[in-house]
Amino acid sequence: MSIERAMDILRKYPLCNHCLGRLFARLGTGLDNEERGRAIKDYLLMRIHERILNEGLSDELLNDIKALAMSGHEPSIKFLSNMGINVSPVKCYVCGDNIFTRLNEWADNIANSLRSLGIEFRSFRLGSKVPLDILSRELSITTEFNVSSAESIKREINRELGKRVSAILGVPFNREEPDVEVVIDINTGSVETQVMPIYILARYRKVHRLVNGEGQVRWPIDRVMQAYGAKDVVIHTGGEDPMGTRVLGNGRPVILQVIRPSKRPGINDVYALLRDSDYDIMLDNLSRVRASAVIRMKARVRDYVITYRVLAITDNPVTDDNIKSLRDYFRNRQVVQVFRRGRRVRRRVSMVYELDGRVVRGRLVEFLVRCQGNLYIRGFVHGGFGDVEPSIAGTLGFGIRPIEVDILGISD
C-alpha cells in the first residue's frame, strides 16, 4: 500500500504511531512500528508543508494537519500552534488509551510471575489476550482500506513484551519449544503461566517375567521425577506387551511425559540416576523429543516388526517335518484375527513374515516368530478357538499352549 494512503486513513481515524506503523509493516526494515508510524506522519507533514509553500494554505491542507495533530503528532501540533490554532490529540481509534505505554509495566508483571514459579527454565513463549473490540476496530480499518501489509496488534504486543521480558530475565523467547508459556490478559493485566512438560524418548526393556499383570510392573518413575523435580510422569508406550512377556533385545519405544519439571538436567545426568536400580524396567537410549513425537510413535505401532520367542507345550509330539512345513507355510503369510463383541464382528489383519522352531524336549517346542506389531501372538499360537486364522495350532492339527512369550527385538 502506498504511504499516500496513510493520509486517507488518518483523515478518518486518528491512529497512534504504533497502530499506523503496523499498517505499513512491510515498509522500512529495521524500524519498529512506533518509529515507522512516526516517520510516516513526519513525511505527510512535510508533503503538506511543501504544498502550502507552492500553492498557499487551503482548508483541505489545514484539515490534514489537524488530522495529524489529533493523532498525537507533536510537530503538527506545534505547526498549528504557531498559526494560533490549538489542537489536542485524541484517543487512538484502534488501541484507545495507547496501550503501548503500558508495555514496561506488563513486562515487569510477566517477569515476576515467571520468577515466582520457582523453577528453572531456559526459554519461554508469550501470548496475549487482546480485547475483541480492539481486534475488530483493527480489522475494520484493514478491510476498509484494503491493507494487506499490516501486522496484527496481537503480534506486535507479543513481540514487544517478549523482547522486554527476555531482557529482564536473560532468557530467550522461543515460539516453538518453550520451557514455560505465559499469557497476559491485556484487559485486566492478569498473567497465567504454564510449565511445559518435557518429553523423553527411550527404549525400555522388561527383564523380569511378571505374571500378575502389567499393573505390577515397576517403572523407575520416581527416579525420573526426582531428576526433574517433577510433579508426575506419564508413560506413553509404542504398543503394549502381551501379559507376562519379557521385553529384551533393543527394547520397545516409550515416551515419558514429565509433568511440571522444576529442573532441567541434561539427559546424561538423568541416565546416571536410572542406572543400577532394581526396577522391572530398564530405560536406554534417552533423548529429548517434542510433544508431537507421541502421536507419531503411536501411529507407527502397527507397522513395527517384532520378533517373538514363544515356548509352548503341544498335545502331540512335534516332528522335524512339522517344523519344516510351518516354516514354509508362514513365510509372508497374512493372519486374520476376528473379534466378536455382541453382533459386531471386527477383523484385524497382521503379517507373519517368518517363523522358525525347534523341539526343546518331548512336547516342549520353541518358536521364533517375526511378525507385524499388531499380531496377537498367543492367539496366533493356540488358534484362539478358531478366531485366529491361520494359526500354528490350526496348521499342526493339534492343540498347543504358549507358556512363555518374550520379545527379542522390535524394529520401528
What is the binding site for Zn ion (CB under 5 A)? 16, 19, 92, 94-95
Tell me whether residue 94 or residue 157 sits nearer to Zn ion (CB atom): 94
Give the residue among 121, 113, 114 at the shortest CA–CA distance from 229: 121
Q: In what order do the strands lie in the sheet with 124-129?
A: 124-129, 180-185, 191-195
Rank residues 187 and 250 by Cβ distance to Zn ion and give the closer one: 187
Residue 17 or 350: the one with the smaller Cβ distance to Zn ion is: 17
16/230 with CB nearer Zn ion: 16
C-beta of 44 vs 407, nearer to Zn ion: 44
Between residues 92 and 107, which has the closer beta carbon with respect to Zn ion?
92
How many whole angstroms separate alpha carbon 393 and alpha carbon 378? 11
Give the shortest CB-64-to-Zn ion separation in angstroms. Answer: 20
Minimal distance, residue 267 CB to Zn ion, in Å? 47
CB of 22 to Zn ion, least distance (A): 9
Smallest distance from Zn ion to CB 94, Å:
5
Q: Are strands 191-195 and 198-206 parallel, antiparallel or unpaired?
A: unpaired
| 364-372 vs 305-314, strand pairing mode | antiparallel
Contact 308, 374 (CB under 8 A): no
Q: Which is nearer to Zn ion, 89 or 249 (CB)?
A: 89
Q: Rounded to 5 degrees, what angle do the CA atoms 391, 393, 397 make?
A: 120
Q: Cβ of residue 20: shortest distance to Zn ion, in angstroms?
A: 8
Kindly state the smallest distance separating residue 150's Cβ from Zn ion, in Å: 13
How near is the Cβ of 147 to Zn ion at its closest, in Å? 15
Which of 186, 174, 198, 184 minimizes the C-alpha distance to 112?
184
Give the DSSP letter string of 363-391.
TEEEEEEEEETT--HHHHHH-GGGTEES-
CA 277 → CA 260, 273, 281, 358, 390, distances in Å? 24, 9, 9, 35, 42
Residue 227 near residue 283, CB atoms below 8 Å: no
Closest of 74, 71, 67 to residue 92, by C-alpha: 71
Minimum CB separation of residue 32 from Zn ion in Å reads: 14
Nearer to Zn ion, 19 or 297 (CB): 19
CB of 105 to Zn ion, least distance (A): 17
Instruction: Find, among 276, 292, 341, 315, the residue nearest to 396 by Cα.
Output: 315
Residue 21 backbone class (left: φ over 0; alpha: ψ -120 to 50; beta: rest): alpha
Identify which of residues 68 and 377 has a Cβ nearer to Zn ion in the complex. 68
CB of 74 to Zn ion, least distance (A): 16
Long-range pairs for 335-341 at CB < 8 Å and ≥24 separation?
335/371, 335/375, 335/380, 335/388, 335/389, 335/390, 335/391, 336/388, 336/389, 337/376, 337/379, 337/384, 337/387, 337/388, 337/389, 338/387, 338/388, 338/389, 339/387, 340/387
Report the amino acid identity of residue 276.
D
In the complex with Zn ion, the residue whose CB is nearer, 41 or 206, is 41
